[in-house]
Structure 1
Amino acid sequence: MTNHVHLVVVPMHQHSISKTLHDAHTEYSTYFNAKYGFVGHVWQGRADISLMDETYMWNAVRYVERNPVRAGIVQRAEDYPWSSAVAHCQFRDDNLLSDDFPPPGAIKNWAEWLRIDHSEEDKRTIRAHLSTGRPWCTPEVLEKLEELTRRRLRPRQPGRRKKIRAETE
Structure 2
Amino acid sequence: MPRMARIVLPNYPHHIVQRGHNKQVVFAEPEDFRRYLSDLKELKHHFEVKVYAFCLMTNHVHLLLAPREDASTLGQLMKGLAGRMTRYRNKLEGRSGTLWESRYKSSVVETDTYLLACSRYIELNPVRAQMIARAQDYPWSSYSLRLKETAENTWLDEGPGFKGLGLDHSTRVDRYIAFMDQAAPPSELQLIRGALQRGQLTGSPRFTDQIENITGMRISRRSRGRPAK
Per the normalisation by structure 2, the TM-score is 0.62
Post-superposition CA distance 1:2-46 (Å, at most 9, x none): 111111111122112211110111111111111111101111242
Stretches of structure 2 that go unaligned for 5 or more consecutive residues are 1-56, 167-171, 223-229
Q: For residue 78 of structure 2, what is the aligned residue in structure 1? A: 21
CA distance in 2, matches of 1:137, 1:107: 24
Q: Is the 8 A contact 1:78 1:111 kept in 2?
A: no
Match of 2:104 among 25, 44, 47: 47
Match of 1:94 in 2: 154
Percent of aligned pairs sharing the same letter: 28
Contact 1:107 1:113 in 2 (8 A): no
CA–CA separation in structure 2 for the residues paired with 1:99 and 1:49? 20
Q: Which runs of 4+ in 1 moved over 4 A?
A: none
Number of positions where the alignment pairs a residue of Structure 1 with one of Structure 2? 155
SS in 2 for 1:5: strand
Give, in angstroms, the shift of residue 69 of structure 1: 0.6
> 2:208 touches 2:221 (CA, 8 Å); kept in 1?
no
Tell me the SS of whatever aligns to 1:90: coil
2:117 corresponds to which of 38, 45, 59: 59
Whole-angstrom distance in 2 between the partners of 1:107 and 1:90: 8
Tell me the CA shift for residue 135 of structure 1: 1.0
2:132 corresponds to 1:74: yes
Measure the CA separation in 1 of the matches of 2:149 and 2:95. 37
Match of 1:126 among 192, 206, 209: 192
Which has a greater percent of helix?
2
Residue 148 of structure 2 aligns to a residue in which SS? coil
For residues 136 and 155 of structure 1, what CA distance do their matches in structure 2 show? 10
Contact conserved, 1:89 with 1:110, CA < 8 A, in 2? no
Letter in 1 for 2:215: T
Correspondent of 1:85 among 138, 143, 147: 143
Q: Distance in 2 between matches of 1:147 and 1:2?
A: 39
- Of stretches 74-83 and 100-109 in structure 1, the one that deviates more from structure 2 is 100-109
Letter paired with 1:6: H
* Whole-Å separation in 2 of the counterparts to 1:15 and 1:117: 36
Equivalent residue for 2:214? 148
State whether residues 205 and 221 of structure 2, in contact with CA within 8 Å, keep that contact through their aligned partners in structure 1: no
TM-score of the aligned structures, taking structure 1 as reference length: 0.82
Q: How far 1:91 moved relative to its partner?
A: 6.8
Q: Distance in 2 between matches of 1:36 and 1:107?
A: 40
The secondary structure found in structure 1 opposite 2:103 is: coil
CA distance in 1, matches of 2:197, 2:158: 29
Q: Give SS of 1:8's match.
A: strand
Larger radius of gyration: 1
**Structure 1 residue 38 corresponds to structure 2 residue 98:** no
Gaps of 5+ in 1: 157-169
Q: CA deviation at 1:113?
A: 1.8
Alpha-carbon distance in structure 2 between the residues aligned to 1:33 and 1:155: 41
2:146–2:154 contact (8 Å) kept in structure 1: no
CA pair 117-45 structure 1, distance change in 2 beyond 3 A: farther
In terms of fraction of residues, the more strand-rich structure is 2
